[in-house]
Amino acid sequence: QSGAHVPVLVIGTGYGGSVAALRLAQAGVDVQMVEMGMAWDTPGADGKIFANTTNPDGRSYWLRTHTKQPLSNFLGFPIDREIPLYTGILDAEEFAGITVYQGRGVGGGSLVNGGMAVTPKRENFPAILPSVNVDEMYNTYYPRANTNLGVGLIDPAWFDTTDCYQYARVGRKQAQRSGFPFVFVPDVYDWDYMKQEALGTVPKSALAGEILYGNNYGKKSLQKTYIAQIRATGKVNISPLHKVTSVAPAVGGGYTVQIDQIDTTGNTTTTKTVLADKVFFAAGSVGTSKLLTMLKATGKLPNLNGQIGQGWGDNGNVMVGRANWWWDATGSLQASIPCGGIDNWAAGGAFAEVAPLPTGIETYASFYLSITKNPNRAQFSWNAATNKVDLSWQQAWKQPGIDMARSIFDKINATEATVYRSDLFGVNKIWGDLLTYHPLGGAVLNKATDNYGRLQGYSGLYAIDGSLIPGNTSVNPFVTITALAERNIENIIAHDL
Ligand code: FDA
């Protein structure tokens, strides 16, 4: 309600926002969550809530009239198509040098992601978040995050025999033939459900190629975990299709938050003003960074420090495909949920997930998403001429990540006498290097904030999402985002309530 006064307002309903809202509600606090995307709780005309990867429609993209698929081409042909303008689930947000993919809706990135739920190796943690106590994270907060997210591992015996992971077994064999360790990657997908999909006894999700545009059945998105717990407290109100546009100190204390209510074509229907005692920025690395950069530059929150907008990285994401010989068929049925990776982090700076290419036909292709130790960091800045926030990332900054990924795939290609695919990211383009799925940083812990996410310069303002992590987590990020949020909110509840 416009004019309302709330104790706590949380901007965004992804991992960081969900952890904050749940723990605050359990501590007895009433929480208002504001989410610019849709609720994703109502089936469309086809009876399903989410669209399939092979048949994108308006539900698939955030306010676009043309899809922008991460794999833009197949066998040399562009595969993007026209769709109706709609507040769809996947945002392909374009900056000058990189497209940043993000989830939009109640559940944030958990709606669109692959569910790969990876805890970094302990020895790598000090480089990820140097000011955070390693024992506390590995003894308390990572286990807490893994339990609440519902993380599980594929049954290795089933992996060895099921048709839908033929592609991953080829990935394992080829990694091992080149001397690289292959590791199973945990996921929040319900593995028992997937076994039933393979038996044909339940509606298919992973085995119907669902990923990127939502998952109708087997994946435990935040809707089924943290947000279900949040609803059970009865103390949290969630407002979808509401976008925060401003936060500024209010006369007499607290913060005035301005919110646009939007319709499903993105038009503002109402503008609301809410007074909040405390505000948690959980709009994701890009969303939080854009808001804070704009608010500092335009004089709404001038006391935020100079670290705002700094330290942004792409988690070293690069994608690549390889063409196999006919004896290494990868299967026409591919589970959309990756379950294994190639670990060359210590020696080559790359951790490569063996990813599906669920086209429904045999492609003889192996496909990988690599996370690399790319050291490049960008910054957000306010552009007064366009009234927008820019990101300084440049296309050429992916090169270190490509070189690190090549530490794995050049060797595999040499061993197998195979070549890279050059038809997936354009015409004669080998590397998927114009995008990231893993934006991190922009309000870095212990720099833009104190060591628990309190924004410097104001009391009662917090960052509690991927913006806290300076650019890289060595693996997929959401378990670390969740665990860090669990750690920070515990400290905030103990000292600030
Ligand atoms: P997150 O982005 O989840 O949530 C932020 C929310 O805030 C969004 O719902 C957004 O709409 C909302 N918002 C933004 N601005 C707002 C405003 N002004 N007002 C109101 N609301 C606003 N990670 C991983 O660990 N394993 C994986 O397998 C994958 N796979 C993957 C695939 C794809 C396609 C994508 C796009 C991403 C992944 N990821 C992933 C990344 C992972 O999903 C991501 O790191 C987390 O969702 C980030 O969590 P946050 O809490 O930081 O924000």
Token pair of 445 as six digits: 């812990």
Beta pairing class for 99-103 and 182-184: unpaired
pLDDT on residue 244:
98
Ligand 1 centroid from CA 281, angstroms? 13
CB 168 within 8 Å of CB 357:
no
Tens digits of residue pLDDT in 469-482: 999 999 999 999 99
Is the pLDDT confidence value at 276 over 80? Answer: yes
**Mean of pLDDT values over 296-315:** 98
Distance 284 CA to ligand 1 centre (A): 6
Which member of 210, 242, 438, 490 is catalytic?
438
Query: How remote is the CA of residue 437 from the centroid of ligand 1, in Å?
Result: 9
| CA dihedral sign of residues 296, 306, 469, 486 | negative
Instruction: Report CA(237)–ligand 1 centroid distance (Å).
Output: 20
CA of 14 to the centre of ligand 1 (A): 6
pLDDT of residue 197: 98
Binning pLDDT at 50, 70 and 90, where does residue 301 land?
A: very high
The pLDDT-based confidence of 450 (bands split at 50, 70, 90) is very high
Q: Average pLDDT for residues 63-91, to the nearest whole number?
A: 92
Q: How confident is the model at residue 457 (pLDDT cuts 50, 70, 90)?
A: very high
Structural tokens at position 281: 């920025």
Mutate which of 18, 102, 268 for ligand 1? The one with the most ligand atoms within 8 Å of its CB, which is 102
For a pocket test of ligand 1, which of 71, 100, 113 has the largest count of ligand atoms closer than 8 A to its C-beta? 113
Q: Which residue has the higher pLDDT, 360 or 90?
A: 90
* ipTM surpasses 0.95: yes
**pTM confidence score:** 0.98
Edge-to-edge strand order for the sheet containing 435-436? 90-94, 99-103, 435-436
The response to whether residue 240 sits with its C-beta less than 6 Å from ligand 1 reads no
In the annotation, is 353 catalytic? yes
Q: What atom of ligand 1 comes closest to residue 242's alpha carbon?
A: 20
For the segment 459-464, the average pLDDT, to the nearest whole number, is 98
Q: What one-character-per-residue DSSP string does 163-219 give?
A: GGGHHHHHHHHHHHHTT--EEE--BSB-HHHHHHHHHTSS--SGGGT--SS--SSSB
Could you tell me how far CA 455 lies from the centroid of its own chain? 23
Q: Residue 300 — pLDDT band, cuts 50, 70, 90?
A: very high
Active site residue 438: yes
Percentage of the residues of the chain whose pLDDT score is greater than 70: 100
pLDDT tens across 192-203, in order?
A: 999 999 999 999
**Ligand 1 pocket: which of 154, 319, 354, 438 to mutate (most atoms <8 Å of CB)?**
438
Per-residue pLDDT at 333: 96
374 closest CA partner among 96, 73, 103, 98: 98
In ligand 1, which atom is closest to the CA atom of 70? Answer: 34
pLDDT of residue 97: 98
Assess whether the C-beta atom of 286 lies below 6 angstroms from ligand 1.
Answer: no
Say if CB 317 and CB 404 are below 8 A apart.
no
Q: What is the mean pLDDT of the chain?
A: 97
Question: Active site residue: 353, 416, 486, 490, which one?
Answer: 353
CA dihedral 397, 168, 197, 119 (to 10 degrees): -60
Residue nearest atom 29 in ligand 1 by C-alpha distance:
113
SS3 (DSSP) at 322: strand
CB within 8 A of 211, min separation 6: which ones? 53, 112, 114, 336, 337, 356, 358
Q: Model confidence at 17, in pLDDT bands (50, 70, 90)?
A: very high
> Cβ distance 17 to 280 under 8 Å?
yes
pLDDT at 283: 99
Least reliable range by pLDDT among 57-66, 191-200, 277-286, 352-361 = 352-361
Percent of the chain with pLDDT over 90: 96
